[in-house]
Each structure stands twice: as structure tokens, then as C-alpha cells.
Chains A and B, each alone.
Chain A
């Protein structure tokens, strides 16, 4: 891979927007802050490769403009507790120590106290943020067995560092989020996930995990060709079909089976965990978890309840 350039650009248009979600699947009403577009971590399965046609990183540097957009969303929302994240078009922490982009956001959410900022990452460096962290920022890590990190997430932090960083965030008074996304089917993945979830239970205080997401690998057709060209055996090991949204997904029967397995492994560790499926069909929710939100609105309601349970009346 060639050199990645960093461009600082003045924010224009909608930097803060509704997570695009996906057609015919239940989505959680997340708000994305496109503070950074592009990623240095370059995971093999990264969906950004299919959407962003430049290897360069774009940083939207007009923070007052971004904060005013966030405020606009918060002020107009009457029903739900909004959740914002910077991890949609980039990794939230990968370049943060160098460029210090998150600090004003963390401080803004800490002062506003009406919504949650989620910093979602595979990069376990949070020391520079510790003095500014407050409960309105959730530090989240995407988690995968080390075998997948070694092969498909080569530039990211190893699993033990991510878990240690999550624990450190908890020790600073933050809630954390855990994202098993993408979950990849490969030879022996069941055992690896069992060990992974066991490790998480030993290192992290699961009572202070705000949410856990499960999302099986999915990708647009153009990435299928890339995976074939790059001989990505792990990524194409399972059985794929085209979903209603045009993306490739594992066949539904498999998805239900795997979600069920992960759900029960996680619940065995901590029964009170709030676990949701990312971009899944109602029927998969029902098959895997035994219940389903009727629509996106209902899922947002589940999030509200979870946040209220953990934050009490402070939000």
C-alpha cells in the first residue's frame, strides 16, 4: 500500500448525519460524525475500500461547525437519547493521539450531558484522552479473535491491548461498548470466539458495558472480487448470498446459528448485557435472540432503556 496523505479540509455540508443503515434491515438510529474520512488501519474486509475512492485521509477541521451540527440534532430530538459516533468512515482513535481531534467532542458531550459520544476503534491508545474523559463518552472496541487480527487487521492493536484499554476506560469512569463486527466464519471460529468471550469476561467489568453489537461479515459485491483476487480465504470461507440490500452476507440459516451461539456465550458471562444485532432482519433477531424490535424506532427505544438503566437520571 502506498503513502497515505492527510488532508485538512474545512467542513462543508452535513458532517453529522443519520447512519445510512441498510434497506430491509433493522437499524439503530445512530448518528455519525464524519470527522475523519478514511483510515490508516486498512483492514482487509474494510467496507470503506468499496466506498471511498482515495487512499488519503480527510480531516474535517472546522470543529465549531461540527459542534453546531451536533447541537442541532440534540436540540431537535424530543424522544430518544441520541448516540453519536465518529467510527463510521474511519477509526475513532487511530490518528487521534497525533491530531487530537476527539478532545473537543468529548468536552462538548461532557458539558451538554444530553447525548452520548461513542469512540469506536481497533486502536488501543487512550492515554492522551484520559484527563478529558467523562461518562458521556463511551470508548468502544471492535473485537475479534487474535487469529483474525493477525490475518485481516494487520495494522491494528492486538486483542489484549484493546481489552486493556477498555478496562482502563472503565477505570476512568466511562462505560464501554464492545463490537463483534465483523464476525467472520472460518475453520475453527466457534472455539476462538468462545475463548475470546471468556477473555473479555476475565478482563472487563461486564456490568459497565453499555452495549454489545453483533454483526456478521457483510460487504458490497465489488469487495467480493477483491477478496478473491487477494486470496482472502478467511473472508470467503462461509456460504454467502446476496441480501435484499445487494450486499453479500452469510446465508440466513448460518447467521441465526452463529448469533445464537455468540448471544448465549455472552449472556453466560453476564446476563444483563445489552446485545443488539447490527443491520439484521427481524427474522434473524427473532431466531437468534428470541425477540425482535418491530422497527428502527423500537430498537432506538431499547437503547433508551439501556442508557437510562445505566445512567439513571443523569441523561
Chain B
């Protein structure tokens, strides 16, 4: 191990880099406190080329270090690539980092068996579709990669996102970046956007401009994709509002208005509660509201 001046390292040569993003706040503050403990692995040619330790180098540069501990090795490119991948296996790789592993191995001409082995180690199935998605992701814009990492997108959501054209992906990222979305909600939203695109040939982003939260976004998309269902839901809400049901009574209708029956729930602590609930139900029955609800599911 030796301390090497950072200026002698070509920090821009990232052919072995699988780390994304390179900036890491926790690592930065750790290195700021106690310096670089684990040396970088660099190829012994001039300037030095980093095999592993890109994030440490980034942090050291940001902190103004002039030199950094390194182990100088002499190995061919493929071995260096494998060393880079294996030296990162101690932590959980995000999906971009996995994509880099796959893409760089292909670029460097690894055999399918070698790639398949590594994909198995990083929990990726060796399948043409997955390989294509991973390579697309590795070569996507940084904005896309940042979004994927920030939202911790799973494979399915990445696939759905990359199916859109670049300008659409930008629109989607703009709309989704500012709101919190769960993984399942994101899946649903991407799916709805795909349907919208398929139906209209394009996505009208004005319908999702300025959304407040994930539920608002979903509601707006639903109105476009499921106008009949949305209208039925609105009608149901209107009827329920007119019914002015107390919290102890609820009327449940199949969310897709498929089932012909409705469920009525009464919460009661004593016979008097039941009596009051029945009186209320009778009154909404007399007012025709129950019939109106059935009218939403029967024709």
C-alpha cells in the first residue's frame, strides 16, 4: 500500500466504476473525520486508473485531500472489472449499480457464462429481456438514474418506465419527483400512464401537472382511463353524502360495480344502537337512496 497523489490518478476514467451515485454523504463525513481507511485499488499505469474506490476518491477530492492510500495492482481489464464488482459485493447494490455490472461486462467482451455467473450473484435472472433493460438503464440519462435510485424502483417499475420515450420519461420524472409514492402506487401510476399512451398515442401531461400527492395523481389518471368507473364512483359518493350516514353505518359497493349486491355494516354496542341504525336505514330507503345505489350496479 502507498499514498499516491490524487493528481496522478485519472479520476475521469470510470471504465471499472459500478458505483452510483458517486456522492455519498455518510462516507464523506466519515472520511472527513478519520480519513480513508480502506485503500483504493488502482492499476499501476500512469496515470493510475481506479479499479475500486471511486466513492472514496470522490469524497477525498471534495474534502481537498492531496493524496490517498492505494494498492497498486497489475491485471488485465477483465480481471480488474471482476475485482471491481466483487469488491462491492459486501454492500447491497442498487439497481443502477447492477445495471453497470451487466453493461460493462458486455462492453468488455465477457462470455455469456461469466455474465450469467455475476448476474446470479447480484440476484438478476439471466434473461435477454433483463439484460436489455439493464443495459438500457446503464446508458440512460443521469436524471433517469437519479430518479430510479431516489425512488428505489424495482425491476418491474424500471421496465415500465423505460418503455416510454425519452421526452415522456422526463415528463414522468417531473411529475413524480416532488411527491411521495409507494412502490405499488408507482407501479399503478406507470401502468396507467402506459395505458393512456396506448389509447391516445401520447401522454397529455397537463392532466397531471401540479399534483399534490400520489392519490391525487392516481385519481386524475383514473378519470382519463376509467371515465365510466370514475363517474360511477362520483355518483356513489354523491348518494352517500345525501344519505348523511353516521359513522356507525356504512354501505359498501363493489369497487368495480361488478357485483350486484351491496353490503351494509352497522356497528352497535347495544340494542338501542341497532334500533337507531335501522331507523336511519329506513329513512334512506324511503328517500330512494338505496334504490339509487342499486341503480349503479344493475341495468
Q: Return A219 CB to nearest CB of chain B, in Å.
A: 14
Residues of A within 8 A of B258 (CB): 241, 243-244, 249, 252, 281
Contact flag A239-B198 (CB < 8 Å), given A281-B258, A283-B298, A287-B299:
no
Q: Verify A239–B225 contact, CB threshold 8 A.
A: yes
Cα–Cα distance between A229 and B232 once the two chains are bound (Å) = 29
Q: What's the interface size class on A, roughly?
A: 20 to 34
Q: Verify B299–A256 contact, CB threshold 8 A.
A: yes
Cα–Cα distance between A287 and B199 once the two chains are bound (Å) = 28
Cα–Cα distance between A282 and B258 once the two chains are bound (Å) = 11
Q: Verify B226–A283 contact, CB threshold 8 A.
A: no
Q: What's the interface size class on B, roughly?
A: 20 to 34
Which one of A4-12, A60-68, A107-115, A230-238 is at the interface? A230-238
> Taking the complex as formed, is A242 at the interface, i.e. its CB lies under 8 A from any CB of chain B?
yes
Cα–Cα distance between A256 and B298 once the two chains are bound (Å) = 10
Q: Verify A251–B297 contact, CB threshold 8 A.
A: no
A to B contact number (C-beta, < 8 Å):
58
Q: Return B19 CB to nearest CB of chain A, in Å.
A: 31
Cα–Cα distance between A231 and B198 once the two chains are bound (Å) = 6
Q: Return A255 CB to nearest CB of chain B, in Å.
A: 9
Out of A231, A282, A283, name the residue touching B297 (CB < 8 Å): A283
> Taking the complex as formed, is A96 at the interface, i.e. its CB lies under 8 A from any CB of chain B?
no
Residues of B within 8 A of A282 (CB): 260
Q: Return A83 CB to nearest CB of chain B, in Å.
A: 28
Question: Which residue of the partner chain B has the closest CB to A234?
Answer: B198
Contact flag A252-B198 (CB < 8 Å), given A229-B163, A239-B226, A243-B258:
no
Contact flag A254-B228 (CB < 8 Å), given A236-B199, A281-B260:
yes
Q: Verify A252–B257 contact, CB threshold 8 A.
A: yes
CB neighbors of B among A183-205 (8 A): none
Out of A229, A231, A241, A253, name the residue touching B299 (CB < 8 Å): A253
> Taking the complex as formed, is A310 at the interface, i.e. its CB lies under 8 A from any CB of chain B?
no
Residues of A within 8 A of B167 (CB): none
CB neighbors of A among B64-113 (8 A): none
> Taking the complex as formed, is A228 at the interface, i.e. its CB lies under 8 A from any CB of chain B?
yes
A-side interface residues toward B, CB under 8 Å? 228-229, 231-233, 236-237, 239, 241-244, 249, 251-254, 256, 281-284, 286-287
30 contacts between A and B (CB under 8 A): A228-B195, A231-B198, A232-B198, A236-B195, A236-B199, A239-B225, A239-B226, A239-B228, A241-B226, A241-B257, A241-B258, A243-B256, A243-B258, A244-B259, A249-B258, A251-B226, A251-B229, A251-B256, A252-B256, A252-B257, A252-B258, A252-B297, A253-B228, A253-B232, A253-B299, A282-B260, A283-B297, A283-B298, A286-B299, A287-B299
